[in-house]
Chain A
Amino acid sequence: GDSVTQMEGPVTLSEEAFLTINCTYTATGYPSLFWYVQYPGEGLQLLLKATKADDKGSNKGFEATYRKETTSFHLEKGSVQVSDSAVYFCALGGTTSGTYKYIFGTGTRLKVLA
């Protein structure tokens, strides 16, 4: 079945370091891909999305490119801030016809130190 695999955390970085969080997926059809972020005590917020191969999603300095050939959607940011500390979830949606659910990875906790 469809699935999402994320790198395990926690990831601890110093402020202004480069961030990469790996995400790979298995899906039938052509899913849309998403990154959501969850701050402590809150629900999930959409960070960025890509709906087809080679699309690049970007927001708040974060980027991810939909790579069909490697079935990946890695999240990157050039210079992290303390305020980026949160849990990041990779997700896919809209795979086989007639399915409405999103499938989430297990999340990667990021801690940024000042």
Chain B
Amino acid sequence: DAGVTQSPTHLIKTRGQQVTLRCSPKSGHDTVSWYQQALGQGPQFIFQYYEEEERQRGNFPDRFSGHQFPNYSSELNVNALLLGDSALYLCASSRGGRTGINSGANVLTFGAGSRLTVL
């Protein structure tokens, strides 16, 4: 049973460029969340997608956008890259459900991440 798969694993971009990161959730999961992990820090929530819509967003600028496809896979797009966007981007999947507070208790399954370096 494949877990969460992310691509690419590593990439290097220059300031001002755009990047797209991809994620396939674990089998049976319908919800995808994206997190940014800066070096030496804990993951920070970017946003979550459920039923092809952004369900909640963290404190990230509009340069960060996403998409979820009918097969539950997801993309994270970052425009106008800044040096500070260099980080490990983690995708996490879960079973979304339709309730609010209980969904937070669902276990997140993480992928290995995509390491983005902005020069």
Do A99 and B42 have beta carbons less than 8 Å apart?
no
Interface size on A, residues (CB 8 A): 31
Choose among A43, A96, A105, A107 the residue that contacts B90 (Cβ–Cβ < 8 A). Answer: A43
Complex Cα gap A106–B113 (Å): 17
Chain B: interface size category: 20 to 34
Within 8 A of B (CB), among A1-49: 4, 29, 31-32, 34, 36, 41-46, 49
For residue A89, CB closer than 8 A to chain B, the reply is yes
Q: Is A61 located at the chain interface by the 8 A CB criterion?
A: no
CB distance from A42 to the nearest CB of B (A): 5
- The answer for the CA separation of A63 and B112 in the assembled complex, in Å, is 25
The complex places the Cα of A91 from the Cα of B100 at a distance, in Å, of 18
Contact present for A99 and B100 (CB under 8 Å): yes
Cβ of A44 and Cβ of B43 under 8 Å apart? yes
Cα–Cα, bound, A55→B83 (Å): 42
Main secondary structure of the interface of A (DSSP, over half): loop
A35 to B19 CA separation, bound complex (whole angstroms) = 31
* A60 interfacial contact with B, CB 8 Å: no
For this complex, 14 residue pairs linking A to B, each with C-beta atoms less than 8 Å apart, are: A29-B101, A32-B105, A43-B113, A89-B43, A93-B108, A94-B105, A98-B101, A101-B33, A102-B33, A102-B35, A102-B43, A104-B42, A104-B43, A107-B40
Q: What is B's interface to A at a CB cutoff of 8 Å? A: 4, 33, 35, 40-45, 48, 55-56, 58, 90, 92, 100-113
